[in-house]
């Protein structure tokens, strides 16, 4: 029998083994502390720098190696001493322990322990939610959110926006002055022998066009969803070119289809361009949720990344292009008409074939309207001489030359008082000419109302501008629509309270372009000054629109609404009492400019309401509001030749009182909602 083992020896060996294990554990901790202290002294060098400083033999892994280096995610290295698993590994690869961090981790200070106790920091993976949020927040603060938008996307959006605003400004330059001239003076129309139209046929044609536009605005969302913004805008600019071409042959048979085409194509493009501005602002804005936190969302960050700020910025450029287009087009038309009315040297080149003109011939106390034709110039005319004309009947018969004033025919379109002066201003009433009222009715019916000199030149210039706008729009990339058929929250409140305001905007725009231009400007100064009055309106409208867009960030909207209400009411009061005279020519431009300020206030407010309240549904909400606006334009142009000026001013005053208070209530309620949803500081 063998002897039994000594229990004391076994117990002693067991205790010695535990002591050795404890010493090994202490050695590991001391080595770890030493490595961390060395890293702190070296200012935490990056991982690749530390790995380059390691000795080559540290990468030699064999059974006899007792020291293996492993890289931690914190950026520091530590030693493993006498690890049984590492000692018995036959094919160890350091790839399995490679760090995936992009930089060293900043270790917190150790406090008052003096570096003796340093717990192992928690590892954070980039794939974990905590690590992903930390990295995302760091990138947002350090780099800025604008760098998160791809460069090619940003460049494409900016390019399309520049082309959009330039083309929009050019089309406005061609359309608004023409509407003012045609609506107030019917500058482009030829009378027919079999049916008689009054002198306000231009406003009737525009009224028909705007009624069609109002109906097409209701279908704008469906058309944009089916065709896209790109096709809708191209069709609109093509329709504008067709509309302008018809004015070269201003017969009712040709003009009527042109105005129908304008009405069909104008509405959807107008809604689409406004929606496109808001959509582009969203693409230039940051979509990260970290942008809207309290710490990162400071003032500088908000100016770059906020969608609201980008919408304001792009809308400011959009309206500025529209107002500058009005100024540019009105300047061109005013220059051409002023040049022709004065018949200045250099305005009409030698040999120019000017085929159409109006003239008036006085026989005792009766006035007869006789269509005349201007013969070809064989030499440069004298600026002091009047037009040399021949009768419209037989061109072979050459009667004596008559000196005729350029706008004498307008006396037949206005009532006169006992002194033979035209009745202008608020007392003006429309005159419907009848052939039986004139002695030479056969000549009036047989001959046509010919174009005033210079109108064909204006149409040619406007047509060229429209073709340039069409070419610029075709250069932009195809923009897909992002309209989704889904319920819109708060749309009914917007339409109920802001709908009357949209109708009032159309009414006041129609009044200034048709009734004011005829009753005040054309009656007192002549039709060639209509375009000049539009220049002042465009200048003040652009200044007021840009200023108000920046002012809305710091001022309550109810203050702006009240100021606009009283300012517009004072203008209507002035128009109802003012007796216009050609001696006060500067006052015509002052009133027109002041009206432009009021129009800029209402347009800026309602655009800001739609774009900031219904940002994701701009087209759906703006289409019915634009329909109401064009409906107001259509009704105002239709009433141009039927009502006197005093009832029109009274109706406009009533609409101002009825439409502004509901809109003010809506703005106050939305302001209260924004305050309640704002974070409490």
Q: How far apart are CA 148 and CA 140, in angstroms?
A: 8
Predicted local distance difference test score (pLDDT) of residue 599? 94
Task: Reduce the DSSP state of residue 588 to 3 states and report it.
Answer: helix
Q: Is the dihedral of CA 253, 254, 255, 256 positive or negative?
A: positive
> Among residues 66, 71, 54, which one has the least CA distance to residue 24?
66
* SS3 letters across 478-499: CCCCCCCCCCCCCHHHHHHHHH
Q: List the domains of the chain with CATH numbers.
A: 21-105 (no CATH), 151-343+453-677 (1.20.1250.20), 360-444 (no CATH)
Are 240 and 171 within 8 A, CB to CB?
yes
Angle at Cα 383 formed by Cα 581 and Cα 585, nearest 5°?
Answer: 15
Q: Would you state the structure tokens that stand for residue 533, as one six-digit string?
A: 């009055």
Residue 437 C-alpha from the chain's centroid? 50
Residue 658 CA: distances (Å) to CA of 209, 425, 504, 565, 661: 27, 25, 9, 11, 7
Are 161 and 273 within 8 A, CB to CB?
no
The conformation of residue 100, written as its DSSP 8-state character, comes to -
Predicted local distance difference test score (pLDDT) of residue 482? 59
Residue 550 C-alpha from the chain's centroid? 15
* Residues whose CB falls within 8 Å of the CB of residue 275, separated by 6 or more in sequence, listed in order: 224, 229, 618, 619, 622
Cα torsion 484, 485, 486, 489 to 10°: value is: 90
Predicted local distance difference test score (pLDDT) of residue 302? 58
Predicted local distance difference test score (pLDDT) of residue 413? 67
Q: How far apart are CA 12 and CA 431, in angstroms?
A: 129
Mean pLDDT, 10 residues at a time, the chain of 681 residues: 62 83 84 65 47 46 46 46 48 46 46 45 51 57 54 83 94 93 78 63 91 94 89 94 91 89 93 89 66 48 69 90 94 85 50 36 32 33 41 40 42 70 81 51 36 74 94 80 58 85 94 90 83 91 91 87 94 90 84 93 92 83 93 93 89 94 91 74 45
> Burial, 384: exposed, middle or buried (Cβ in 10 Å; 0-12, 13-18, 19+)?
exposed
Residue 396 C-alpha from the chain's centroid? 57
Q: How far apart are CA 332 and CA 558, in angstroms?
A: 38
The conformation of residue 679, written as its DSSP 8-state character, comes to P
* Residues whose CB falls within 8 Å of the CB of residue 433, separated by 6 or more in sequence, listed in order: 198, 199, 369, 412, 413
Predicted local distance difference test score (pLDDT) of residue 135? 57
Residue 568 CA: distances (Å) to CA of 437, 563, 573, 589, 599: 40, 9, 9, 16, 9
Predicted local distance difference test score (pLDDT) of residue 54? 46
* SS3 letters across 193-256: CCCCCCCCHHHHHHHHHHHHHHHHHHCHHHHHHHHCHHHHHHHHHHHHHHHHHHHHCCCHHHHH
Residue with tokens 């949803």: 677
Q: Is the dihedral of CA 412, 414, 415, 418 positive or negative?
A: negative
Residues 42-49: contacts with CB under 8 Å, at least 24 apart? 44/75, 44/76, 44/104, 44/106, 44/107, 45/104, 46/75, 46/103, 46/104, 47/71, 47/75, 47/99, 47/101, 47/104
Say what angle helices 252-283 and 229-245 make with each other, to 10 degrees. Answer: 150
Q: Would you state the structure tokens that stand for residue 318, as one six-digit string?
A: 């959009």
Are 577 and 427 within 8 A, CB to CB?
no
> Among residues 531, 186, 582, 179, which one has the least CA distance to residue 358?
186
Predicted local distance difference test score (pLDDT) of residue 401? 34
Q: How far apart are CA 140 and CA 143, in angstroms?
A: 6
* Residues whose CB falls within 8 Å of the CB of residue 238, separated by 6 or more in sequence, listed in order: 265, 470
Q: Would you state the structure tokens that stand for residue 675, as one six-digit string?
A: 């305050």
Q: Would you state the structure tokens that stand for residue 370, as one six-digit string?
A: 């006789």
Are 77 and 45 within 8 A, CB to CB?
no
> Among residues 563, 570, 572, which one has the least CA distance to residue 604?
563
Are 445 and 150 within 8 A, CB to CB?
no
Q: How far apart are CA 422 and CA 523, in angstroms?
A: 7
Angle at Cα 103 formed by Cα 105 and Cα 29, nearest 5°?
Answer: 45
Please indicate, yes or no, whether the overall pTM of this predicted structure exceeds 0.75.
no
């Amino acid at each position: 029998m063998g002897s039994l083992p000594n229990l004391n020896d076994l117990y002693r060996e067991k205790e010695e083994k535990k002591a050795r294990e404890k010493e090994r554990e202490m050695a590991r901790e001391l080595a770890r502390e030493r490595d961390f202290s060395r890293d702190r002294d070296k200012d935490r060098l990056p991982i690749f720098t530390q790995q380059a400083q390691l000795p080559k033999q540290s990468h030699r892994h064999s059974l006899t190696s007792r020291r293996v280096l492993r890289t931690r995610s914190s950026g520091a290295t530590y030693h493993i001493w006498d690890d049984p698993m590492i000692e018995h590994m036959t094919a160890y690869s350091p790839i399995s322990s490679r760090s995936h961090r992009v930089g060293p981790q900043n270790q917190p200070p150790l406090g008052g322990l003096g570096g003796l106790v340093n717990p192992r920091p928690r590892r954070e993976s980039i794939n974990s939610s905590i690590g992903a949020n930390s990295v995302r927040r760091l990138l947002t603060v350090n780099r800025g959110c604008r760098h998160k938008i791809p460069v090619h996307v940003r460049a494409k959006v900016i390019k399309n926006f520049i082309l959009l605003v330039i083309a929009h400004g050019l089309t406005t330059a061609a359309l608004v002055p023409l509407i003012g001239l045609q609506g107030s003076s019917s500058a482009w129309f030829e009378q027919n022998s079999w049916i008689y139209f009054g002198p306000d046929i231009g406003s009737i044609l525009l009224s028909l066009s705007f009624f069609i536009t109002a109906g097409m605005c209701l279908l704008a969302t469906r058309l944009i969803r089916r065709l896209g913004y790109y096709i809708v805008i191209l069709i609109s600019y093509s329709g504008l070119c067709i509309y302008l071409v018809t004015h070269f042959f201003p017969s009712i048979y040709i003009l009527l289809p042109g105005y129908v085409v304008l009405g069909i194509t104008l509405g959807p493009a107008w809604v689409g361009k406004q929606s496109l501005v808001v959509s582009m602002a969203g693409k230039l804005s940051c979509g990260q949720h970290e942008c809207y936190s309290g710490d990162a969302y400071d003032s500088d960050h908000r100016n770059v990344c906020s969608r609201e700020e980008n919408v304001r910025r792009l809308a400011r450029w959009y309206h500025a292009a529209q107002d500058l287009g009005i100024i540019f087009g009105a300047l061109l038309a005013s220059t051409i008409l002023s040049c022709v009315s004065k018949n200045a040297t250099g305005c009409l080149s030698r040999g120019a074939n000017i085929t159409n003109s109006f003239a008036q011939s006085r026989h005792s106390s009766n006035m007869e309207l006789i269509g005349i034709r201007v013969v070809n110039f064989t030499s440069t005319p004298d600026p002091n001489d009047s037009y040399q004309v021949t009768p419209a009947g037989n061109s072979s018969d050459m009667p004596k030359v008559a000196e005729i004033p350029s706008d004498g025919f307008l006396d037949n379109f206005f009532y006169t008082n006992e002194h033979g002066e035209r009745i202008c201003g608020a007392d003006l009433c429309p005159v419907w000419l009848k052939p039986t009222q004139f002695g030479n009715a056969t000549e009036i019916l047989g001959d046509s109302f010919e174009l005033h000199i210079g109108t064909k030149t204006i149409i040619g210039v406007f047509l060229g501008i429209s073709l340039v706008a069409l070419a610029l729009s075709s250069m932009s990339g195809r923009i897909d629509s992002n309209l989704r058929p889904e319920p819109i929250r708060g749309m009914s409140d917007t339409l109920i309270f802001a709908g009357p305001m949209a109708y009032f905007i159309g009414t006041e725009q129609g009044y200034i372009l048709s009734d004011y231009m005829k009753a005040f400007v054309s009656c007192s100064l002549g039709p060639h000054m209509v375009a000049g009055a539009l220049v002042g309106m465009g200048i003040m409208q652009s200044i007021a629109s840009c200023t108000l867009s920046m002012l809305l960030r710091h001022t309550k909207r109810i203050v702006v609404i009240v100021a606009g209400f009283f300012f517009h009411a004072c203008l209507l009061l002035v128009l109802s009492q003012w007796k216009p005279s050609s001696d006060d020519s500067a006052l015509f431009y002052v009133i027109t400019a002041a009206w432009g300020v009021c129009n800029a206030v209402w347009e800026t407010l309602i655009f800001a309401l739609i774009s900031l309240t219904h940002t994701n549904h701009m087209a759906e909400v703006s289409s019915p509001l634009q329909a109401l606006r064009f409906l107001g334009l259509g009704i105002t142009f239709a009433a141009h030749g039927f009502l006197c000026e005093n009832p029109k001013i009274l109706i406009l005053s009533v609409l101002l009182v009825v439409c502004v208070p509901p809109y003010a209530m809506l703005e106050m309620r939305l302001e209260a909602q924004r305050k309640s949803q704002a974070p409490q500081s």
